[in-house]
Amino acid sequence: MQVDDGLAMAPDFEVFHREHRDRLVASLALHLGDVHLASDAVDHAMAKAWTRWERLDDHDDAGAWVYGVARNWATSWLRRLRFRSNRAVPERASGDPLPSDLLDDDPALRRALASLTDGQRAVVVLRLLQEMSTREVALALDVEEGTVTSRLSRARRQLRDALTDTEAEQ
């Protein structure tokens, strides 16, 4: 049954969702190592974005805003799991920050990304995959722009070494 719930859909939100949602999920999954948690978190953040779409002053920053909200939601969820249940937080259960089902088309890249710290990997993914500016990455990760630049610089060196080692092995 179709129900007209009277909720208007801002056309530009629909476009934003279509163009950004999957890539944001993928980016957050590479940060968290859990595609399902990332999906839930981004969908939650998208719902929040819809509620304040008119008030998001600069829609160019909406991707960074959604990523930040999703990241916080996921972090809170993981912390709450530990806080409330005293159970092991599952994100590092295997000791591998990127499970093999992520990026299984490019295992060398997956291993190289896994060698980065969480913060470095988040910067790499947001800059290179999301094509965010330094300012947007800083907004998404709630860090200073200088931190973004330095993390990217160190991550680039480490990635280059890791990829070179892998290719040399092959």
Partner 1 sequence: MTIDDPRNPHEREFDDHVAARLRRAVAGMDLPAASAARARSSGHQLQLRARLAASAGAVALVVAAITVATAIRPLGTGDVVQGPSTAPVPATTADPTPVVCPAVSPTVQQAEPRLPEARLEPAGIQGWALLFTEPPWPTGEQVKVVWRLDGTGDPDASAIGPSDTVVDSDDLTPHGGSNWDRPGDEWGTIWTFDEPGCWELRMARAEGSASLTVRVVDPDDPNEAGLTAAQFEARIDRARAALSDVDEDNVVHAAMADDVVTESELVTALERTRSCARDADPTAEVTTGHIGDVSSSAADGNAVERCIAEHYQPTIRAFVTLFAPSAGQQAAVPDCPQASTDCLDEAETVVDGIIRSNLRLVGELGHTPEPAAPSDAGQAAAQQLHAAARADDDRGLAQFAQTWLASDEVELWLGPTTLDHTATPADLVDPDGWVLSSDDYAGYTGPFSGLDALADVDDITVSTGPQPNCAAPARPAPAGLEGLERIAIEPAESDSCLDWFVVNLWVDDGHVRAVQLDLYEP
Q: Which residues contribute to the site for partner 1 (CB under 8 A)?
A: 1, 3, 5, 7, 9, 13-14, 17-18, 21-23, 25-26, 29, 35-36, 39, 42-44, 46-51, 60, 72, 75-76, 79-80, 82-86, 102-106, 109-110, 124-125, 127-129, 131-136, 149, 152, 156, 159-160, 163
- Provide, rounded to whole angstroms, the least separation between the CB of residue 8 and partner 1: 9
Which residue, 57 or 84, has its beta carbon nearer to partner 1? 84
Place of tokens 């060698």: 115
| Radius of gyration of the chain from its Cα atoms, rounded to whole angstroms | 17
Which of 67/110 has CB closer to partner 1? 110
Q: How far is the CB of 107 from partner 1 (least distance, A)?
A: 9
Cα within 13 Å of Cα(57), Cβ side: 0
CA distance 29 to 46: 16
Residue 33 DSSP SS3: coil
96: nearest Cα among 155, 36, 32 = 32
